[in-house]
Amino acid sequence: MSYKVFLKHSDAVFPTSATYGSAGYDLSSCVEDVVPAHKWKAIETGIIVQFPSDCYIRVAPRSGLAFKKGLDVFAGVVDSDYTGTIKVILMNNGDEDFIVKKGDRIAQMIYERIYKPTLEIVSSMADLEETIRGAGGFGSTGV
């Protein structure tokens, strides 16, 4: 199975996996930019991808950048009907500005299958099944 990738920007980098077992494909910046400390910025990759409608792309952080530089990725979903270039919203949780150079691997894209159930509205809480957990959340099952 193959999905299509168009390098729209002249400095765009074709996404690759580091190893056979890697879940994601590295996304690289096609521009130079700065993500200020404690701020976020959308960084252009310059690529357009096309893939089946039963999938979406999750844009996820790279563990090394998260651990070493405090970088995270915001709002990382690319739908199959999106036809623009992929941008990565980088959040710099560090105390120093993060310099992005052309070709830097800034995130990873992971293809995931979608399960879209039919949603049914119910008229009362009594129509919902009870569970042992109930409405407990945010640490209710332990930390």
Query: 113-122, pLDDT tens digit by residue?
Result: 999 999 999 9
What residue segments make up the domains of the chain, in order of their start? 4-118
Does domain 4-118 bear CATH number 2.60.120.560?
Answer: no
| CB contact at 8 A, 52 and 98 | no
The span from the CA of 62 to the CA of 73, in Å, is 9
The string of pLDDT tens digits covering residues 17-68 is 999 999 999 999 999 999 999 999 999 999 999 999 999 999 999 999 999 9
